[in-house]
């Protein structure tokens, strides 16, 4: 049986990342409360970078991402930051979905990456 490694999240009952086999499952929302899609996207992506690094991998190994957005009219702003962040030679499959999120969160990013092993 493959071991499961969990990284503690800031929210009770949730892990910020889970490693199973050669896959890393992670999720991030912005820590900032400013209602600015570009800033929240950059903050959430920086968190994804940190979580992937803890798991021994990076964004060049992303396989899939789902971005939940509270206002699809702001998707272009999110995408602007995404395109500046993503490794252009290793872009993952990505979907964007309109969603209702709690509090000040304008987006939530769920991602799956391969480890470097």
Span 2-39, pLDDT tens digits:
889 998 876 778 888 999 999 999 999 999 999 999 99
3-class DSSP state of 11:
coil
Q: How many CB atoms lie within 10 A of CB 95?
A: 10
Q: Looking at residues 53-73, what average pLDDT do you find?
A: 97
pLDDT confidence of residue 3: 87
pLDDT confidence of residue 75: 98
Q: Looking at residues 66-95, what average pLDDT do you find?
A: 97
**What pLDDT, in 10s, does the model give residues 81-105?**
999 999 999 999 999 999 999 999 9
What is the set of domains in the chain, with CATH numbers? Answer: 4-114 (3.30.1330.40)
Contact 65, 94 (CB under 8 A): yes
- Is the confidence at residue 78, as pLDDT, over 80? yes
Instruction: Copy the structure tokens of residue 66.
Output: 């789902």
């Amino acid at each position: 049986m493959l071991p499961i490694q969990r990284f503690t999240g800031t929210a009770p009952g949730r892990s910020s990342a889970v490693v199973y086999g050669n896959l890393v499952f992670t999720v991030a929302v912005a820590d900032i409360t400013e209602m600015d899609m570009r800033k929240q996207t950059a903050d959430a992506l920086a968190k994804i970078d940190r979580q992937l690094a803890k798991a021994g991998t990076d964004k060049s190994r992303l396989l899939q991402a789902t971005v939940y957005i509270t206002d699809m009219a702001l998707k272009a702003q999110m995408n602007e930051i995404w395109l500046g962040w993503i490794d252009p030679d290793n872009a993952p499959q990505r979907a964007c979905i309109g969603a209702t999120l709690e509090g000040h969160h304008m987006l939530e990013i769920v991602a799956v990456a391969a480890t470097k092993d």
